[in-house]
Amino acid sequence: MQTALDDEYRAEATYRAVLDQFGDVRPFSNIIRAEQRHAEMVIAQMVRLGMTVPPNRYIGTIAAPKTRLDACQTGVEAEKTNIALYDRLLPQVRDPQVKATLQLLQSASRENHLPAFERCVARGGMMGRSW
């Protein structure tokens, strides 16, 4: 659970850096909210299991990519890393609630976040505004 939370925290901080650099642009503005919800879901499982929940140590420590295209490519790589992480973690999970949570998070990365960032790359880094 710590590893999953750490990955969700890192993604949130990375996407926050992009938003701070480039403004309230999609897909980052949508996906950061999802990452925050994902962290909350992992935290809920950790609390249920009596685990200590650390704060997000990445906020404010990750630099934004230089260009919008780089930001989108960073999103693609982050989501691929996230999917691979859950591929490694899920076979080890015995708790059915934890397993269901991690499967849901992996599915969101695979089916929603990764395609959104891939579309952003395909458009040459052109991002939509969230207003």
Q: Is 60 exceeded by the pLDDT of residue 93?
A: yes
The average confidence (pLDDT) of the chain is 93
β-sheet bridge partners, residue 25: 129
Residue range 27-72, pLDDT digits in tens: 999 999 999 999 999 999 999 999 999 999 999 999 999 999 999 9
Residue that wins the pLDDT comparison between 127 and 60: 60
Structural domains of the chain, count: 1
Instruction: Return d(Cα 126, Cα 115) in angstroms, integer.
Output: 15
| C-beta contacts of 86-91 below 8 A and 24+ residues apart | 86/4, 89/3, 89/4
Instruction: Return d(Cα 35, Cα 26) in angstroms, integer.
Output: 14
Residue 25 pLDDT:
87
Q: Taking the CB of residue 46, how many other CB atoms lie within 10 A of it?
A: 18
Residue 115 pLDDT:
97
Q: How confident is the model at residue 127 (pLDDT cuts 50, 70, 90)?
A: low
- Give the structural domain span for 13: 2-129
Q: If you average pLDDT over residues 104-120, what whole number do you get?
A: 96
β-sheet bridge partners, residue 24: none
β-sheet bridge partners, residue 128: 26
Instruction: Residue 88: give its domain's CATH number.
Output: 1.20.1260.10
Q: Is 80 exceeded by the pLDDT of residue 128?
A: no
Q: How confident is the model at residue 112 (pLDDT cuts 50, 70, 90)?
A: very high
% of the chain at pLDDT higher than 70 = 96
